[in-house]
Amino acid sequence: MHFKVSTSIIIPKPNKEWYNSPKTFRLIVLLNILGKLIEKFIGERLQFHLISNNFIHLSQLGSLKQCLLSDAGVALMHFIHTSWVKNNTTSTLMFDIAQFFPSLNHQLLPLIFDKVGFDLKVSLFFCNYLVGIKTQYFWNNFSSPFFNIDIGVGQGLALSHILSALYIAPILHILENHLKILNLPVSTLSFVDDGLLVA
């Protein structure tokens, strides 16, 4: 149970004129070290299974081992140069999914695990993993009581990036299939909660 308890330190962002909005503060979440190590191990095994079964979309370059932001730049340059060879111009549309991690739906996760082919025990583990999480807020000398934070996936968790990749993968596969059906020459790049459409 103590793996599901965290301490959140509220720190004001520097050089702000006013501190009357939550956006002018940053949360630093302190987690149990042993819990982080266990999450890291589970995340690596989960990523291995997802990639070896081709569930992760090829355009997903963020939140995965050996996939860096520079890889997204190289892929974008490839798309542009390929277009130039065909005497075409390239257009891009970049997007950011606001509040992505807090918005991840817990009821969707078991369906995704089932689609991937995971055992029911794995699905049940993650359903349990994402509930019953509590944090206590500290600001200067103030300490709050514990609050339940059973929404989405915590961005600082060791499993948050692989779980985000798991949520995004079906969307990218569906988008790719629709673009093929419509015969639209659009490519996608995804980096965690940021994306790029290239035409």
| End-to-end CA gap in the chain | 48
Residue 22: predicted pLDDT: 85
At residue 127's C-alpha, the angle toward residues 122 and 46, to 5°, is 40
Residue 143: predicted pLDDT: 93
Share of the chain above pLDDT 90, in %: 15
Specify the pairing of strand 25-30 against strand 5-12.
antiparallel
Share of the chain above pLDDT 70, in %: 96
Residue 119: pLDDT band by 50, 70, 90 thresholds? confident
pTM listed for this prediction = 0.76
Q: Closest by alpha carbon to 195, among 90, 106, 187?
A: 187
Express each pLDDT in 19-50 by its tens digit.
Answer: 888 889 988 888 888 888 888 888 888 888 88
Give the 3-state secondary structure of the chain.
CHHHEEEEEEEECCCCCCCCCHHHEEEEEECCHHHHHHHHHHHHHHHHHHHHCCCCCCCECCCCCCCCHHHHHHHHHHHHHHHHHCCCCCCEEEEECCCHHHHCCCCHHHHHHHHHCCCHHHHHHHHHHCCCCEEEEEECCEEEEEEECCCCCCCCCCCHHHHHHHHHHHHHHHHHHHHHHCCCCCEEEEECCEEEEEC
Express each pLDDT in 51-89 by its tens digit.
Answer: 888 888 888 887 677 677 777 788 888 888 988 999 988
